[in-house]
Amino acid sequence: MTNLDQAGGVLTVDLDAIASNWRTLKARVAPVEVAAVVKANAYGVGVTPVVRALGAAGCKTFFVATLDEALEVKAALGAPQRRIFALNPPPARPEAAAAAGIVPVLCTIEQVRAWPAGEPAALKIDTGMSRRGLTSGELDTLAADAALIRGLNLVLVMSHLACAEIPDHPLNERQRTAFAAARARFPTVPGSLANSSGAFLPASYHFDLVRAGAALYGINPTPGRANPMRPVVQLNARIVQVRDVDAGTTVGYGATHRFARPSRVATVAVGYADGYPRSLSNRGFGYIGGVRVPLVGRVSMDLASFDVTDVPAAQLTHEGFIELIGPHVTVDDVADAASTIGYEILTNLGRRYHRRYTGANG
């Protein structure tokens, strides 16, 4: 991380908003439990402060991708009564996870066989992602192996929705039915199917545990409808130069933008090496004091330029920063302009930003 006075970008993370989003989801699916997905450094916003804030809010179950991430969450929480599931246990060395009290999500028969008998584990079922988890045929194989079943201490059976953000997608109901059938083989084991968007599907999708990721961090789990979540992230980029240019001048690599009128350009010290995507070239925008400023030219590695001609000069001097994400520009806005999804914007948030955490645990 970079000191504030040296940083090209300042990232502010609202921990109260994350806790509030968790409570919103909890109220929505009650009495079903809501777990927090905090893989990939809590979607890029910073895993240690996030899990502490969520732990303080009452969240008891956390999901990460790797064993290293699980150990980081464990160290941050310091509370043995929390459960940590690792979604991507490596095929080798399951004993490292067991020794640390991490619950792996087993995805293959081989992983089930390799996992120490009696140690808690989750089982993933493939119901339509075709990515990870046991197929129906593999479940038959498992069910037929009495010794294997006896040694298996399952604490969760789970699957993953492929199209939950499209409520009427036919795959949702097919996955729900397939999951219900698979879960019926383990009638005493809690089940989990829904992610953030799944929390907004009917209650029949919620089973015993909802795994919330994107929505915790302010991404809209109901695309096309009003966002029920509070925004979490603000990103402000430091202006390092303001330049007046004549009509006809071009800006940036490849000279891809030509000014039609005499213009004022502000360059900020944030670029694609900071995870501000190059696909925002000539498509992104920011705000200064309520005025929309379009991104002009290509985003470069460490810099990006904005047309600030319409910003009063006093305002420009006074602000010193351009809002890239904040009250006027949502994470989803940035993602739309970059032709991607908010998840990718968040997980690529750069290492050179100065990071500030606000809220009860900030």
Q: Which of 26, 60, 253, 287 is catalytic?
A: 253
Smaller CB distance to its own copies: residue 181 or 255?
Answer: 255
> Minimal distance in Å, beta carbon 56 to its own copies?
25
**73 closest CA partner among 95, 105, 34, 101:** 101
Burial degree of 286 (CB within 10 A; 0-12, 13-18, 19+): buried
Smaller CB distance to its own copies: residue 236 or 305?
Answer: 305
Within 10 angstroms of residue 188's Cβ, the number of other Cβ atoms is 5
39 in active site? yes
> Does residue 305 belong to the site contacting its own copies (CB under 8 A)?
yes
> Minimal distance in Å, beta carbon 162 to its own copies?
5
Q: Which of 26, 39, 74, 124 is catalytic?
A: 39
CA distances from 112 to 152, 308, 313 (A): 8, 59, 65
Give the separation between CA 35 and CA 62, rounded to whole angstroms: 6
Site for its own copies in 208-267 (CB under 8 A): 238, 240-241, 243, 245, 249-255, 265, 267
> Minimal distance in Å, beta carbon 175 to its own copies?
10
> Does residue 10 belong to the site contacting its own copies (CB under 8 A)?
no
86's CB contacts (< 8 A; 6+ apart) are: 63, 64, 65, 66, 67, 69, 70, 97, 102, 103, 104, 105
Smaller CB distance to its own copies: residue 33 or 72?
Answer: 72
Kindly give the pairing relationship between strand 120-124 and strand 153-158: parallel
Smaller CB distance to its own copies: residue 206 or 238?
Answer: 238
Site for its own copies in 48-77 (CB under 8 A): 65-68
Out of 114, 149, 154, 171, point to the residue binding its own copies (CB under 8 A): 171
> Does residue 340 belong to the site contacting its own copies (CB under 8 A)?
yes
**237 closest CA partner among 287, 280, 273:** 287
Out of 178, 269, 288, 311, point to the residue binding its own copies (CB under 8 A): 269
> Minimal distance in Å, beta carbon 213 to its own copies?
8
Out of 119, 208, 302, 333, point to the residue binding its own copies (CB under 8 A): 302
Structure tokens at 266: 């502000």
Site for its own copies in 67-126 (CB under 8 A): 67-68, 87-88, 90-93, 96, 107-108, 126
> Minimal distance in Å, beta carbon 50 to its own copies?
15
Where helices occur in the chain by DSSP H, the ranges are 15-29, 39-43, 47-57, 67-77, 94-99, 109-114, 136-143, 146-151, 170-183, 313-319, 331-337, 342-347
Where helices occur in 206-355 by DSSP H, the ranges are 313-319, 331-337, 342-347
> Does residue 154 belong to the site contacting its own copies (CB under 8 A)?
no
Give the separation between CA 83 and CA 63, rounded to whole angstroms: 8
> Does residue 204 belong to the site contacting its own copies (CB under 8 A)?
no
272 in active site? no
Structure tokens at 260: 């039609």
Give the separation between CA 14 and CA 306, rounded to whole angstroms: 26
Q: Quick check: bond before 262 cis, omega within 30?
A: no
Out of 136, 204, 279, 317, point to the residue binding its own copies (CB under 8 A): 279
> Does residue 309 belong to the site contacting its own copies (CB under 8 A)?
no
> Does residue 272 belong to the site contacting its own copies (CB under 8 A)?
yes
> Does residue 282 belong to the site contacting its own copies (CB under 8 A)?
no
How many residues of this chain interact with its own copies, rule: CB under 8 A? 72
Q: Which of these segments, 112-120, 204-212, 227-235, 275-283, binds its own copies (CB under 8 A)? A: 275-283
Give the separation between CA 216 and CA 206, rounded to whole angstroms: 17
Catalytic residues: 39, 253
